[in-house]
Structure 1
Amino acid sequence: MDHAAAGPPEAQSLPGCYRHPDRETGIRCTRCERFICTDCMVNASVGFHCPDCAAGRTPGATGPAPAASRPRTLAGGTIAADPHLVTKILIGINVAVFIAVRALPDSFLADMVLIGRWPPAPFVPTEGVAEGEWYRLVTTMFTHQEIWHIGFNMISLWFLGAPVEAALGRARYLALYLVSGLAGSVFAYLLTSPITPVLGASGAIFGLFGATAALVRRLKADMRPVVILLVISLIFTFTRSNISWQAHVGGLVAGAVIGYAMLHAPRERRTLVQYGTCALVLVAVVGLTLLRTVQLT
């Protein structure tokens, strides 16, 4: 019996991506097993995830992912769309204050700098931290008088702050920056002459130096570039006149302590250790401020 010749089998088409049905694909999400195209697949530790699973959403759900399941930074913070936003804002605040210092009378600058108690003088007011103006511990962190000073500090803030912010997340990074800056201000208030004006973001920036060292250690990367840069900065600090080494050292110590706590805290009680360390440093800041104020009054 003759048989008709069999024609070629029809080519079987691949399924379409769940988000782009017109795109054929053989790739599945390793979590929900839905088909995903190359534009939708997200690298995972094993295989690929669809955008919903990568963001921590239930497949098919809309809206933001639950906070507990969102992707996290090394320190447990939420990953932001712009990981350097806080650094940009801090630079903007410093630049705005610098412009105000240049444009307004000298009395504005005198009201912003950190200084203790002094006799009346043309440049400085007759009140300060010792008389209850604790706000100077903060305002001095954002105040610069010379263009080279703010230029050097803002370049340092960008190159040190941006990677630290990306590793910590916005809230933890801002806490580190402000507490380190306060520690630098308090060391200057405690150890310098009460008639010496102190200003600049260097205390907070040296805090970022300390946090950078903790970050490099956490990543198990080469520490030598950080150590070399820090040594050069400290040599410059102690050999140049008109530089507050007290603020630099205070910020560096606080930044190293807080940065280590942020990046090495045990996962099960990470938030408690991180913000608890910030709180302890703040307690030390308040205690040293009170101690110096008693000495000056």
Structure 2
Amino acid sequence: MSGIPQYGQRSEPSAAPECPRHPGVRAVDYCKRCNRPMCAECAIPTEVRSICVDCARRVRRRVPSGSPVVTLGIIAACVLIYVIGWVSPAAERAFVFAPVVGYYQPWRFLTTAFLHASLWHIGFNMLALYWVGRSLEGVMGHWRFAALYVLSAVGGSLAVLLWCFVDPSTWQTATVGASGAVFGLFAAVFVLQRLNGVDTTSVLVLLGINLVYGFITPGISWQAHVGGLVTGLLVSWAFTLLARPRRGMTARAQNRVTVLATAAMALLLAGLVAGTYALLLH
């Protein structure tokens, strides 16, 4: 009976490859990130399978320490601008986005995400931003999270502009709110959970409820919700793929590639905006 393998053992231990960190020691699994063999001492358990010691160290280096400064900064900016707009509505109107003014003042594609129409509006958006932003910023890092928020906000405004092809009367309709950017954050949560093998039911239910609410409630720009959601999906998916370890590439080199990819995505959004205006005004 001693020759019968126990649960978790290989029938032929000699068939297993050696652990690259401990020569002579047979591996018990492969790292789910770099796919290198690892012995029991090198395996770090995660929610789904295990990663090796080296990948675990790289993950820890990418997770920033300290408070979610970007999330808190966005919340502070939104609250400050809301107070300014309450005191001086004229100052607030200088940042509102409508397709008709976005052509001449393109910064409004982003600034409108810091404006809100009511106390309930800003309260809901900031609460959602705080809940999701704290953990998401810790996983993605400060500048990637900021880029995700900005690109999702612009993507939401772009969707509002694109809707003018369907309904030209919205050419002069103003939209405000961080909802498009927040939907982009929810999309990033879905992507990270999906690619790491985590159950995505809860975030899908949350997205579904909020999307349906935007469709059935008058006065809510569901176009911005959809635009932010799609942009957030694409940006977070790109960030996740670029963050995977690559043989022969240092962490600094990977970071440079991610910066270039972020710039390319921003230029792509700008090109889509310019192309849409060219078609609408042709």
State the match for 1:245 in structure 2: 222
- Verify the 8 A CA contact 2:149 2:185 in the aligned structure 1: yes
State the match for 1:96 in structure 2: 80
2:65 to 46, 56, 80: 80
Paired amino acid for 2:228: G
TM-score, normalised via structure 2 length = 0.71
Q: 1:198 to 1:204 in 2, by over 3 A?
A: same
2-structure distance, mates of 1:72, 1:98 = 40
1-structure distance, mates of 2:58, 2:234 = 22
2-structure distance, mates of 1:225, 1:46 = 29
State the match for 1:157 in structure 2: 129
1-structure distance, mates of 2:43, 2:187 = 35
> Which SS does the other structure have where 2:94 is aligned?
helix
> Which SS does the other structure have where 1:194 is aligned?
helix
Matched, 1:129 2:102: yes
State the match for 2:188 in structure 1: 211
Per-residue displacement from partner, 1:222-277 (whole Å, max 9, x unpaired)?
A: 11111111111111111111111111111111111111222233322643553444
- Verify the 8 A CA contact 1:187 1:246 in the aligned structure 2: yes
2-structure distance, mates of 1:111, 1:233 = 29
Which one has the bigger strand percentage?
2
Q: Residue 161 of structure 1: CA displacement?
A: 1.2
1:167 to 121, 139, 145: 139
| CA RMSD after TM alignment | 2.5
Matched, 1:142 2:114: yes
Q: Residue 78 of structure 1: CA displacement?
A: 5.0
1-structure distance, mates of 2:99, 2:195 = 39
Q: 1:93 to 1:231 in 2, by over 3 A?
A: same
State the match for 1:194 in structure 2: 171
1-structure distance, mates of 2:111, 2:129 = 17
2-structure distance, mates of 1:153, 1:242 = 16
Q: 1:249 to 1:273 in 2, by over 3 A?
A: farther
Q: Which runs of 5+ in 2 are unaligned?
A: 1-40, 45-56, 165-169
Q: Which runs of 5+ in 1 are unaligned?
A: 1-43, 48-70, 118-127
Question: Percent sequence identity over matched residues?
Answer: 31
- Verify the 8 A CA contact 2:99 2:160 in the aligned structure 1: no
Per-residue displacement from partner, 1:55-80 (whole Å, max 9, x unpaired)?
A: xxxxxxxxxxxxxxxx6557x73522
- Verify the 8 A CA contact 1:180 1:250 in the aligned structure 2: yes
4+ long deviations beyond 4 Å: 44-47, 71-74
> Which SS does the other structure have where 2:171 is aligned?
coil
